[in-house]
Amino acid sequence: MLDVHPSGFYAWLQQPHSQRHQADLRLTGQIKQFWLESGCVYGYRKIHLDLRDSGQQCGVNRVWRLMKRVGIKGSSQKTENKAR
């Protein structure tokens, strides 16, 4: 058990979310939108390009992290194995 006073814990709960957290929530919504518009096919690289084209500035790794957090994956094209 942590030695934290209950009033301190509840005061901590009432603090507003950080700017980074709010930006992540906004970006996650846009990522989901672009992913659904692509037919659930685009991966983090193409989603990053879409975000950049729409004027959002964020890194590829951040897009990857947010997509992983919400469970979004790109779909790779399936290839047939031809008989030799």
Q: In this predicted model, what pLDDT tens digit does every residue of 3-51 receive, in sequence order?
A: 899 999 999 899 999 999 999 999 999 999 999 999 999 999 999 999 9
Residues 6+ apart with CB under 8 A from 53: none
Residues 6+ apart with CB under 8 A from 18: none
Measured at the CA of 19, the angle between CA 58 and CA 61, to 5 degrees, comes to 25
What is the pTM assigned to this prediction? 0.76
